[in-house]
Every structure is written in C-alpha cells, then in structure tokens.
Amino acid sequence: MKQLLVMLVVLLSVARPVWAEQLSDDTKRAQIHTELGAGYFGMGKLGVALEELTIAIKSDSKYAPAYNMLGLLHMELREFDKAEEYFKRSLSLDPSNSEAHNNYGWFLCQRNREDDAIGHFMSALKNPLYATPEKAYLNAGECSLKKGDEKGAEDFFLRALKFQPAPGQALWRMAELNFRHANYDEAQRHLDAFMKAGGQTRESLWLGARIAHRLGKRDAEESYGAKLRTHFPDSREAQAYRNGQFDEAATGEGRK
C-alpha cells in the first residue's frame, strides 16, 4: 500500500498559486518550507521533512497544506494519532482542499474506517478544480474492495478509467474483477491495456495465462508462461504455471 500512497501524494497541492505574490511574507515562508518538506518526504528523508514542515507552521500557523503534509509524514511514521490530528487541522483550515480529503480518506481506509474514508474521497471530488479526480475514484474503489463491496468498487474503477491516461491500478483491478466473475474477454481487454501501459509483472503474466487457459487459447497461454519462466523464474506464479495450478489466485496487485 505504501507504493499507492506515494502515488497519491506528489506534491499535495503545495504548488505555488498564481496569486502567490499577494500572500503575506509569513505565508510565503510557510509555502516554501512546505514545498521543501514535500520534496524531502518524497525522497524518504523524513527527519529533514519534519524540520521543514515545523518551520512552515511556525511561519504561518494557519497554512493548511503544511498540516496535510504533516499528516502524511506521521502516517508514514505510524504515529496515527498525530497523523489524524494534522489531517483534521488541515481540513478545518481549508475544507475544500481535495488533496487533504483524498489523503485523509486513504489514512482512514488503512485504519479500517472504510465508510468514513469513502466520504472524504467524495468530498475531494466535489471541488471542480481538483486536478486529479481519478486518484479519489481509484482510492474509493480500493477502499470499497477492502470492505467487500465489489459492485461499488467496480463503479469507482470505471469512473477512474474515464480519465486519460487511465490509472494502471484501475485497469488491473478491472481485469481481476472481470476474471473473478468469468468475464474473460473483458478481463483480457483490461489486462492488455494494463500491460500496454508498462504493467508486465509476474501477477499480470500469470493472470494472462489463466485467462488464456479459460478461453482455450493454448498459444497465448504458452506465451504468457514463457515470459513468466524467463523473467520471474523463481516466483510463485511461475511455479504455479509449471504445475498447471490455474485455479490459484494471483498473489499481488499487479504493480511493478
């Protein structure tokens, strides 16, 4: 899940707005140090990121993006009470901040509070200026899957796929869901799109082999299997292919 979190974050709406020159000097300092904190967070330098973000909120205690970043940082540090406190503080200062809603929603989903999480994803989508709504739809789909709502998840993933470029994770999930419900042609279509976008993983090759097996496409099955054996010879998926265990579920989420 950490990989998905990182995908969600960069750079959290701390980019400099066109009206930045109208900000006070204190707010400009908070903005600069928040941008630096986000950069260090992205590089995994959490201690330096914390220092920068501390300077940011000392410069302007009402600068909402700094609290959003602090929420993410403390989430990464598994200091969950602090993370929630900072997310709430960010949203209290700027209730329309879609990135803060999205990030807080992801936090709540990881804390098994799926319904609250989906509520925040929907709040993120209410903002017509939200630059990356596909992220909120994708996360809402993941959270729906987590609570066992496959129909809701499919709806959210399909909404995410309306954006270009389509999120790879949504393509993968749709391939998985369609395979699970024996919609093999649809599963293949989504899998092809996922792999075309660079998603040739051991999980996707194994799913391709399983789809081909169900459809009786022996040549395609062998092609997927050959790639599995060549590129991932020691994987569970390659072992399952060698043993003809085509009923075995995929073991991952299709990521590289």
- Does the structure show a pLDDT above 80 at 10? no
Number of domains the chain contains: 2
The DSSP line for 152-186 is HHHHHHHHHTTSSSPPHHHHHHHHHHHHHTT-HHH
Q: Which of 94, 110, 125 is the last residue of a domain?
A: 94
Flag whether 139 is in a domain: no
* Alpha-carbon dihedral 165, 170, 172, 175, rounded to 10 degrees: -110
Q: Which range, of 133-137, 238-242, 245-249, averages the lowest pLDDT? A: 245-249
As a whole number of angstroms, the distance between CA 194 and CA 216 comes to 22
Segments forming the whole domain that contains residue 186: 164-256
pLDDT reported for residue 19 = 45
Q: Are 106 and 117 in contact (CB under 8 A)?
A: yes
Flag whether 110 is in a domain: no
Integer CA distances (angstroms), 219 to 186, 188, 208, 229, 238, in order = 19, 15, 12, 15, 17
Mean pLDDT of the 156-173 span:
94
Give pTM, 2 decimals. Answer: 0.84
Per-residue pLDDT tens over the stretch 142-155: 999 999 999 999 99
Q: Are 155 and 145 in contact (CB under 8 A)?
A: no
Flag whether 222 is in a domain: yes
